[in-house]
Amino acid sequence: MAASPSGNAKNRELSLPTSRIRTIMKSSPNVENIGQDSLLLVTKATELFIQHLSRQALKQVEGKAEHIDYKHLAEVVQTNKKLDFLKGKYLC
């Protein structure tokens, strides 16, 4: 997706492939149709989520190390209620 002079270029570009995200969404039970707007929003939300999770993990190491490990992510999941949906789903 080409950047355009008007508007925030970052807002127009997506880092994640929408086709893959669509596949994942369709694998969810009972999903029938996915509107184009919703595909865009889920893609963008996922990008924001990845960055949010990364920054939360960073807080776990700040001042102590310069290396984010699995345990830091595990700690973030344990201590954030809104991340309950991730509990028990980790695979590494």
Which residues would be at the binding site for another protein (CB under 8 A)?
4, 6-8, 11-12, 15-17, 20-21, 23-25, 27-35, 37-38, 40-42, 44-55, 57-58, 61, 66-70, 72-74, 81-82, 85-86, 89-92
Whichever of 49 and 79 has its CB closer to another protein, that residue is: 49
The CB-of-80 to another protein minimum distance in angstroms stands at 9
The CB-of-79 to another protein minimum distance in angstroms stands at 14
CA distance 20 to 10: 20
CB 34 within 8 A of CB 18: no
The CB-of-92 to another protein minimum distance in angstroms stands at 4
Cα distances (angstroms) measured from residue 19 to each of 16, 26, 40, 49, 86:
9, 11, 10, 18, 23
Whichever of 50 and 79 has its CB closer to another protein, that residue is: 50
**Residue 28, CA atoms < 13 Å, CB-side half-sphere:** 8
